[in-house]
Amino acid sequence: MLTRLKGAKVVDPGNINAEKDLLIKDGYIKAILDPGEPYPRLEKSTSGSDSSPVSVSSADSSFSLDVENDQYIEIDVSGMTLVPGLIDLHVHLREPGHEYKETIETGLMAAARGGFTAVCPMANTSPVNDNAQVTSFIINRAKELGLSRIYPVGAMTKGLKGESLAEFGDMKKAGIAAVSDDGCPVENSMLMRRALEYAKGLNIPVISHSEDLSLSKNGAMNEGITATKLGIKGIPNAAEASFIMREISLAELADAPVHIAHVSCEESVEAIRNAKKRGIKVTCETAPHYFTLTEKAVADYDTNAKMNPPLRTEKDRQAIIKGLADGTIDCIATDHAPHSSLEKDLEFDKAAFGIIGLETSLPLSLKLVEEGILSFETLIEKMSKNPASILGINNDLTPGNPADITVIDMESCFTIDPKSFLSKSRNTPFAGFKVTGEAYITMVKGKIIYQR
Amino acid sequence: MAFTKKDILDIDSLSVEEISMILNTAEGMKEISQRPVKKVPTLRGKTIVLFFQEPSTRTRLSFDVAAKRLSADSLAISKSSSSMVKGETLVDTAKNLEAMSPDVIVMRHSSSGAPHLIAKRVKASVINAGDGIHAHPSQALLDLMSVKEKKGRIEGLKIAITGDISHSRVARSDIAGFTKMGAEVVVSAPLTMIPKGIKALGCKLADDMESCVENADVIMMLRIQKERQGAMLFPGEREYASLFGLNRKRLNLAKKDVVVMHPGPLNRGVEIDSDIADGKYSIILNQVTNGVALRMALFYLVAGGGKRNADKA
């Protein structure tokens, strides 16, 4: 099976930025051709006989095309932009255990629709993904579905309890791509140090949910003027930033990498910027809501604006944008956190933290390009290349790599309508937002898993 | 002018005109409680549900008496007597209440914003009787009424509030109410009890209690919740009383005709000395009396003739 994606502007940061055709054979990128360039590159054989069989160019001597037997498909994507498949480092798919909120199937459908060819589901399922059996269940379920790829994140500590290390090695064999106690910060510094050291030896990235629970306890939104007016207990920036400073110190001590999840405030960006300057191996992500919204979104006790860390102030939002622009923030992840009305149609302080993001991330992030904050290439680095590199994956658009591709329609203008979501949940604060740009085709290993 | 608000959720959502109208109506209501037969037929046939998820004696009683003096049928449900203990959600409880067609739901809840959530879901008028640490509008309105009664005005007065501002819905609503009506509000407390962005509420923060009460027309003391000692807000009651308790010495810093207020219940000897609570400057019991009249006014305005023409009260 041979597929030619024709006419798109191909953007693979640091590799390609031009109109190209992509030739895909059996799920892998076969060649990247100039527009209209024939393939296989027909060459007269040196013997000069007209009757000699078709032969491929010397650059591709391993490949011979059986034109008779192979199915050949051309897909016209002219006017579209083709990029390496987007990767979301931070999602919650809720299966096993909370299938009424989301399943691996609905979560992956939402991912495909959002243009994500791979997602990293966090370990806070029920049972917790802290052992190879749960990891295998998740991976097998995703395989059966044949949608976006899944790179599960295993628990860092058994049961996410912060008491003893989970079996990273076993889980790695089963397929985890990283470890994290997302949602439950590891309060014991020695345990965190050991996790960093142990994971380094196994070449597994560690993702830190940085939150000093003694400072954030009972808080439901950002500590500040809006919380004071609404009478909601606050979560100060320091609950996040002070913990990140600890993680940086421990990464330095262990000489091991650490990835900071969902950075939301100015002090955190500043701490990470300084650590990077000092050569400490720290990377981080933020989420679209942190560069799009502020605490004001909570104003009418809207539980769809409740997440952890909380929406901060305009000053913090600007700091996040600056961090994205200057490279301090490496990735945009969604922290896709589906909840049903059972958790959200409640008093604000009793409602669950979290919003969904897979189907809104790309259009919201493209606003950064529209506003001139990021170049399109830089955005794709943050949504595809950098997450890949943190996970240790090479997703360059080069021959031999699996054809994990997102084709983006940059012109599509639409209004975000939660009713249209493929996710099982609807907890988004972005209903009614007017946005531009969305996934047109999402392709994993040569197979179209979503087409608008 | 007709009163058009469906709900009384917080002071911020009331205009100066609406507050004045409530206060004027309440002054008219006060006389009813002094009659030998303390009852008028104004709200006959109206149903008022007192939905108290959080414990309350004085506020609930005050609303109940107010409803009865206007001949409304009032019924109280509390947390323990309702399905809330069976795990029913607030929205479900409210929908069930709504199905019984009440005219007014008076609601107290431990979660800030809970009455706002319900007000959007029910046709009945919702009166917030205290939500979390957010608002207690009827308390602020009765405080305004009590001060206006003594001083003849609100505008230009200095109101000194001392106590746990962070965790007090009374403080938030009083700050909003008094500043909105033109008074100057100054607060003092240990800094552990001052929320971030306090100035956004429109008040000033004094360096200490002495400068807070200096030249004050009104001193309002807030109850120190003893259980908050566990929250590391202050080292102990003795030290609190020595720094932020209202004693004779501090009282003397205020204007000669100062009035002393407290929303109750009192911690005698902690935030207020007994002789001051019972002394000639205290209007603590006037607050309670006015509370009934004020709540009658609220019922009248949201459920009665006030919708059409409040001036005929």
Q: pLDDT digit string (tens) for A288-335?
A: 999 999 999 998 999 999 999 999 999 999 999 999 999 999 999 999
Question: What are the CA-CA distances from residue A141 to residues A96, A105, A170 (Å)?
Answer: 10, 8, 19
Question: What class does CATH assign to B137-287?
Answer: alpha beta
Q: Smallest Cα–Cα separation from B240: which of B228, B252, B258?
A: B228
Q: How far is CA B40 from the centre of its chain?
A: 24
| The residue type at B38 | K
The two structure tokens encoding residue B209: 């209690």
Amino acid A53: pLDDT: 45
Is A327 part of a structural domain of the chain? yes
pLDDT of chain A along its 452 residues, tens only?
A: 899 999 999 999 999 999 999 999 999 999 999 998 887 654 444 444 444 444 444 444 445 555 555 688 999 999 999 999 999 999 999 999 999 999 999 999 999 999 999 999 999 999 999 999 999 999 999 999 999 999 999 999 999 999 999 999 999 999 999 999 999 999 999 999 999 999 999 999 999 999 999 999 999 999 999 999 999 999 999 999 999 999 999 999 999 999 999 999 999 999 999 999 999 999 999 999 999 999 999 989 999 999 999 999 999 999 999 999 999 999 999 999 999 999 999 999 999 999 999 999 999 999 999 999 999 999 999 999 999 999 999 999 999 999 999 999 999 999 999 999 999 999 999 999 999 999 999 999 999 999 99
Residue A444: inside a domain: no
Domain boundary among A57, A76, A95: A76
Same domain membership, residue A92 and residue A38: no
| A298 SS3 class | helix
Give counts: helices (H), strands (E), chain B: 11, 9
Q: Does A239 lie in the same domain as A174? A: yes
| CA atoms within a 13 Å half-sphere pointing along the CA-CB vector of B158 | 19
Sheet holding B125-131, edge to edge: B73-78, B47-52, B104-109, B125-131
Closest CB to A348 among B111, B195, B200 = B111
Task: For strands B73-78 and B104-109, give the pairing.
Answer: unpaired
Query: In total, how many domains does chain A have?
Result: 2
| Residue A44 and residue A124 in one domain | no
CATH number for the domain including A219? 3.20.20.140
Residues in chain B, overall count: 313
Question: Residue A31: inside a domain, yes or no?
Answer: yes
Peptide bond into A429 cis (omega under 30): no
Task: Provide the token pair at A331.
Answer: 């990735």
Tell which of A40, A55, A76 closes a domain: A76
Instruction: Report yes or no on A447 lying in a domain.
Output: no
Q: Where in chain B is the domain with CATH 3.40.50.1370?
A: 16-135+290-312, 137-287
The residues near A379 (Cβ < 8 Å, ≥ 6 apart) are A332, A365, A366, A368, A369
Catalytic residue list of A: 335
Helix (H, G, I), strand (E, B) or coil at B47: strand
Residue of B113, B196, B200 with shortest CB distance to A348: B113
Partner-chain contact B112 A349, CB within 8 Å: yes
A176 and A93 in one domain? Answer: yes
pLDDT along chain B (313 residues), means of 10: 92 97 96 93 95 90 97 87 74 89 95 96 96 97 98 97 95 97 97 92 96 98 77 87 96 97 92 95 96 97 66 42
**Which residues of B fall within a CB distance of 8 Å from A299?**
none
Cβ separation A231–B132 shorter than 8 A:
yes
> Per the domain annotation, does A111 fall within a domain?
yes
The contact set of B with A (CB < 8 A) is 12, 89-91, 109, 111-114, 116-117, 131-135, 169, 172, 195-198, 200-201
DSSP string, A345-401: SS-TTTSPP----TTTHHHHHHHHHHTTSS-HHHHHIIIIIHHHHHHT----S-TTS
Say whether both A197 and A154 belong to one domain. yes
CA A196 to CA A260: how far, in whole Å? 13
Give the closest-approach CA distance of B229 to chain A in angstroms: 16
Q: Examine residue A27 and state whether it is found in any structural domain, yes or no.
A: yes
Q: Within this chain, do residues A358 and A280 fall inside the same structural domain, yes or no?
A: yes
Domain match, A233 and A159 both: yes
Strands A405-415 and A434-444: antiparallel
Residue A392, CB half-sphere, CA atoms under 13 Å: how many? 11
Residues of B with CB below 8 A from A342's CB? 89
Do residue A389 and residue A417 come from a single domain? yes
Nearest to B112 among A230, A236, A300 (CB): A230
The distance of A120 to chain B (nearest Cα, Å) reads 33
Residues A204 and A321 in one domain: yes
User: Which residues in chain B are closer than 8 Å to A315, comparing Cβ atoms?
Assistant: none
User: Rounded to whole angstroms, what are the CA distances from A314 to A294, A297, A303, A319, A335?
Assistant: 6, 11, 20, 9, 21
Q: Quick check: A228 and B197 CB within 8 A?
A: yes
Of B111, B133, B169, the CB nearest to A347: B111
Boundary (domain end) residue, out of A76, A106, A140: A76
Q: Are residues A356 and A427 in the same domain?
A: yes
What is the pLDDT, as a whole number, of residue B148? Answer: 97
DSSP β-ladder status, A28-33 and A16-25? antiparallel
- Which positions ≥6 away from A9 have C-beta within 8 Å? A17, A18, A19, A80, A81, A82
The CA-based angle A260-A261-A262, given to 5 degrees, is 125
Q: What three-state secondary structure class fits B19?
A: helix
Contact (CB<8Å) B133/A345? no
B134, B138, B144: which is closest to B172 by C-alpha?
Answer: B134
What confidence score (pLDDT) does residue B306 get?
A: 52
Output the CATH code of domain B16-135+290-312. Answer: 3.40.50.1370
Instruction: Report the alpha-carbon distance of residue B18 to residue B4 in Å, rounded.
Output: 9
**pLDDT the model gives residue A36:** 84
Query: Nearest 5 degrees, angle CA B185-CA B136-CA A305?
Result: 100
At A58 the pLDDT is 42
Does A284 share its domain with A183? yes
Q: What is the dihedral of CA A422, A428, A430, A431, to 10 degrees?
A: 70
Asked if A357 and A107 touch (Cβ cutoff 8 Å), the reply is: no
> For residue A62, what are the domain limits?
2-76
Is residue A281 a part of any domain in this protein? yes
Q: Are residues A7 and A57 in the same domain?
A: yes
- Whether A312 maps to a domain, the answer reads yes
| DSSP state letters, A118-145 | EEEE-S-SSS-S-SHHHHHHHHHHHHHH
Structure tokens at A167: 């079996």
